[in-house]
Amino acid sequence: MVIQTDGVVLKSSDSGDNDKRISILTRHHGIVTAAVKGAKSLKNRMFHAVQLFSYSNFTITEKGGWHYISNAELTESFIDIRKDVAAISLASYIAELASAFAVVEDCETIMTIVINAFYYLSKNDNSHLTVKPAFELKLAALAGFMPEIEVCAGCCDEFEKGEAIYFNPIKSGMYCSKCANSNSLPLSYDAYLAFRYIVFSSNSRFLLFHLSPVPLSEIAAAAECYILGLADKNFKTLEFYNKMLYKII
């Protein structure tokens, strides 16, 4: 069987002296892990197309239950991600997170937000501070975990500018001060509006917002707590990113 597909390389590991195994997030076939012969040789015509984070068009051949890359043509390398330690560490986390939530039915939309996140990381300084919470919240919404945010999930009252708003990652909803409990995280009104924008905006525009440092830190805490609760696992790439971020600050 031969598969023709575009995809993003989410994981890459060495296989022998000159080969690699890569995991590709594809549009319609889920995540495909395939071998690439001679991938570590600069003379290989597919060298750039199969690098980590690259978005490429692949020809994948299946033989005896194994997948092999017989051809790959690069569309976008996002090479500037590799020039910044924060960007590359966050891209690694995004790749691991996408792998954890990707199912065949959702892969096309998830691939779109991965590509957009990689684009912003490669083109904008310090964009990792915005990209991380936005990607976490958008991924959760696309994976079927859209939180209740239009009104208070407790009393159904609408939120007004200036009032205290709380996000409960366990109950997956926004609450007013009267209904919030100890598991709720405080959000300023600006953070709440950004939260709304991210989950309701299109997959190509969810990163087009700006927040000052305080509301950005609020939404970052809420997004990370929410996605980790949904995943029910720890991510080594996230631990590395947070350690790196602490050193930068």
Give the DSSP per-residue string, the chain.
Answer: -EEEEEEEEEEEEEETTTEEEEEEEESSS-EEEEEETTTT-TT-TTTTTTSTT-EEEEEEEEETTEEEEEEEEEEE--GGGGG-HHHHHHHHHHHHHHHHH--GGGHHHHHHHHHHHHHHHHHSTTTHHHHHHHHHHHHHHHTT---B-SB-TTT-PBP-TTS-EEEETTTTEEEETTT--TT-EEE-HHHHHHHHHHHHS-TTTTT-----HHHHHHHHHHHHHHHHHHHTS--HHHHHHHHHHHHH-
Range of the domain at 162: 80-248
| Per-residue pLDDT tens digits for 135-178 | 999 999 999 999 999 999 999 999 988 888 999 999 999 999 99
Number of domains in the chain: 2
Same domain, 86 and 209: yes
Query: Which of 22-31, 99-108, 111-120 has the lowest average pLDDT?
Result: 99-108
Which CATH number characterizes residue 191's domain? 1.20.1440.120
- Residue 246 pLDDT > 80, yes or no? no
Q: Are residues 95 and 204 in the same domain?
A: yes
Residues 51, 138 share a domain: no
Domain end point (choices 42, 76, 110): 76
